[in-house]
């Protein structure tokens, strides 16, 4: 089934793209959430009329994403965590912890955008990818240090 995307979906494509999806996915998710339209002649005509506006929105979104990617690319987030014997962490560092530290630096990123395959459980520096927008990612460094003994 061919549909016209009304908004960018990471796994399918950008706004205005015509993509093939399974009928159940379109019927049960894309249509009820108003993320896509059925690819008919009438909807194709509407898409052709709105193409300039869609391209302008895409360009603006790409520019904003690139600026944010430049801002956070190479940033280092330092997280202090309690450690036990043999420098083993109590607990772990999750994407929520990283998002909180980024917010303290003035960079607001949703924790779901931080691509952390598994929580960080060791001291040291780790590279973490942050998905800024469709096909735009940036890499940050997360440095886990022990809390100084009091």
If one counts every other C-beta atom within 10 angstroms of the C-beta of residue 111, the result is 15
Which CATH superfamily does the domain covering 2-62 fall into? Ribosomal protein L9, N-terminal domain (3.40.5.10)
Pair 78, 145: CB distance under 8 Å:
yes
Domain boundaries, the chain: 2-62, 73-146
Per-residue pLDDT of the chain (150 residues; tens, 9 = 90+): 999 999 888 888 888 889 999 999 999 999 999 999 999 999 899 888 888 888 888 888 888 888 888 888 878 888 888 887 777 788 888 889 888 888 888 888 888 888 888 888 888 888 888 888 877 888 888 888 888 644
* pTM for the predicted model, two decimal places: 0.69
Pairing of strands 136-146, 76-81: parallel
Pair 134, 66: CB distance under 8 Å:
no
Pair 120, 114: CB distance under 8 Å:
no
What is the third-level CATH fold of 73-146? Ribosomal Protein L9; domain 2 (3.10.430)
């Amino acid at each position: 089934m061919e549909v016209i995307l009304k908004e960018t979906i990471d796994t399918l494509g950008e706004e205005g793209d015509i993509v093939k999806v399974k009928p159940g996915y379109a019927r049960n998710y894309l249509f009820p959430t108003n993320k896509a339209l059925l690819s008919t002649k009438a909807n194709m005509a509407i898409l052709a009329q709105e193409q300039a506006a869609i391209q302008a929105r895409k360009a603006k979104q790409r520019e904003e994403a690139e600026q944010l990617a430049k801002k956070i690319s190479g940033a280092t987030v330092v997280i202090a965590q309690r450690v036990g014997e043999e420098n083993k962490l109590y607990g772990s560092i999750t994407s929520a912890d990283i998002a909180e530290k980024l917010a303290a630096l003035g960079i607001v990123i949703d924790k779901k955008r931080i691509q952390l395959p598994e929580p960080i459980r060791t001291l040291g520096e780790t590279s973490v990818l942050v998905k800024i927008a469709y096909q735009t990612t940036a890499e940050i460094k997360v440095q886990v240090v022990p809390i100084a003994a009091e």
